[in-house]
């Protein structure tokens, strides 16, 4: 099946053409970083306006790069949530309109499900994990650990209780006066810093659950800055490396614990924070030490993009009864939980 997928949950507008849920024929992305940089973060109203401007050009780019037309498309899929409702609406209504015009089916997808299953696409340099596997989503809005039993079947093991990892990176970068997006800049500066220079706390390190909390770490950085001032030069690099190491340590420890507790030898890292060079390095080292296979998509597929929806788009479209237009009441949802919590399952079965 030839599918056109759309992603507009936050500040990237993206369209992709995917063949048989595996092969990426094209993946066009319009970034809004220059738009939001002056504000130090995403402004929802500006994001939705720019999606309106960019959505049809990125669709045209995706079709042109794949050497296809809309008449060739057999199904449409779009991120329906979670995300910024104004941004999601642009993608959802565009997908529904195209599907109606071409009399093709259209399905709404969970953004998190896309991140978890990116590695199921044909990515020669990554390999494809067997089911089940443990998946860590580390991004600006999420720090979640799941068991992916198979497509459409997920168990939530742990999640952030406050700030997500990517949010902590961006807020600390803003404290330091670094340019937006801050996570990228911290990663760059940390490469020449000493990760042991400052002993920042590892939040929830001793807790037996698999949840995350990064607000306390953010506060620890703020208190350090209030006491010592904003550093420059090598001292700035050291602070970035020390903060980054604290985040990475917690992410790696929690996801490897999840794999061990559930006797699963495969871990998938996804989400925008998966672009962080130190996290990628630490995950692979931990996998080697524990004899766990680590799967990490290329950085271009870790940040928000439409290609990452390819595997789940094919899966849900194939379940529909007829090839004609249907959208099953598809609408944008700011909140869209994925999977069943393991704790909920435990309570249910008592």
CA distance 95 to 305: 15
Residue 11 known to bind ligand: no
HEC profile for 35-62? Answer: HHHCCCCCCHHHHHHHHHHHHHHHHHHH
Residue 187 known to bind ligand: yes
Residue 194 known to bind ligand: no
CA distance 190 to 210: 27
User: Does an H or E element contain 131, and which?
Assistant: none
Omega of the bond leading into 141 within 30 degrees of 0 (cis): no
CA distance 298 to 313: 20
CA distance 137 to 239: 25
Neighbour-count burial of 109, counting CB atoms closer than 10 A to its CB (0-12 exposed, 13-18 middle, 19+ buried): buried
SS3 98: helix
Report phi then psi at 272, rounded to 5: -60, -35
Omega of the bond leading into 132 within 30 degrees of 0 (cis): yes
Residue 115 known to bind ligand: yes
Reported residue count of the chain is 350
Neighbour-count burial of 324, counting CB atoms closer than 10 A to its CB (0-12 exposed, 13-18 middle, 19+ buried): exposed
DSSP state of 197: S
Instruction: For residue 235, give both structure tokens.
Output: 């001292």
Residue 170 known to bind ligand: yes
Task: For residue 135, list its beta bridge partners.
Answer: 146, 268
Number of Cβ within a 10 Å radius of residue 166: 25
Residue 122 known to bind ligand: no
Residue 137 known to bind ligand: yes
Residue 138 known to bind ligand: yes
Strands 106-110 and 153-158: unpaired
CA distance 45 to 3: 29
Residue 305 known to bind ligand: no
Residues in binding site for Fe cation: 111, 115, 304
Residues in binding site: 111, 115, 137-141, 170, 183, 187, 276, 304
Residues in binding site for substrate: 137-141, 170, 183, 187, 276
């Amino acid at each position: 099946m030839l599918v056109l997928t759309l992603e507009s949950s936050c500040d990237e507008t993206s369209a992709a053409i995917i063949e048989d849920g595996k092969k990426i024929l094209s993946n066009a992305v319009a970034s809004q970083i220059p738009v939001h940089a002056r504000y130090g973060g995403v402004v929802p109203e500006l994001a939705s306006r720019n999606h309106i401007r960019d959505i049809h050009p990125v669709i045209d780019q995706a079709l042109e790069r794949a050497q296809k037309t809309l008449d060739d498309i057999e199904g449409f899929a779009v991120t329906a949530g979670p995300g910024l409702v104004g941004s999601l609406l642009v993608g959802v209504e565009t997908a529904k309109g195209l599907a109606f015009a071409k009399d093709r089916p259209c399905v709404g997808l969970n953004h998190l499900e896309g991140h978890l299953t990116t590695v199921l696409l044909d990515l020669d340099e990554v390999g494809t994990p067997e089911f089940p596997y443990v998946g860590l989503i580390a991004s600006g809005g999420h720090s979640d650990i799941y068991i992916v039993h198979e497509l459409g079947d997920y168990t939530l093991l742990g999640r952030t209780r406050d700030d997500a990892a990517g949010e902590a990176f961006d807020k600390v970068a803003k404290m330091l006066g670094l340019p937006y997006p801050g996570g990228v800049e911290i990663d760059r500066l940390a490469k020449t810093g000493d990760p042991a220079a400052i002993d920042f706390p590892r939040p929830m390190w001793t807790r037996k659950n698999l949840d995350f909390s990064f607000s306390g770490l953010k506060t620890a950085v703020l208190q350090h800055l209030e006491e010592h001032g904003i550093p420059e030069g090598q001292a700035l690099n050291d602070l970035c490396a020390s903060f980054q190491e604290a985040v990475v340590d917690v992410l790696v420890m929690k996801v490897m614990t999840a794999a061990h507790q559930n006797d699963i030898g495969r871990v998938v890292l996804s989400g925008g924070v998966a672009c962080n060079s130190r996290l990628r390095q630490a995950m692979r080292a931990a996998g080697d030490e524990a004899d766990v296979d680590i799967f990490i998509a290329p950085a271009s597929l870790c940040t928000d993009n439409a290609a990452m929806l390819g595997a789940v788009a094919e899966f849900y479209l194939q379940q529909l009864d007829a090839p004609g237009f249907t959208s099953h009441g598809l609408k944008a949802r700011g909140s869209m939980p994925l999977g069943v919590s393991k704790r909920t399952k435990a309570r249910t079965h008592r």
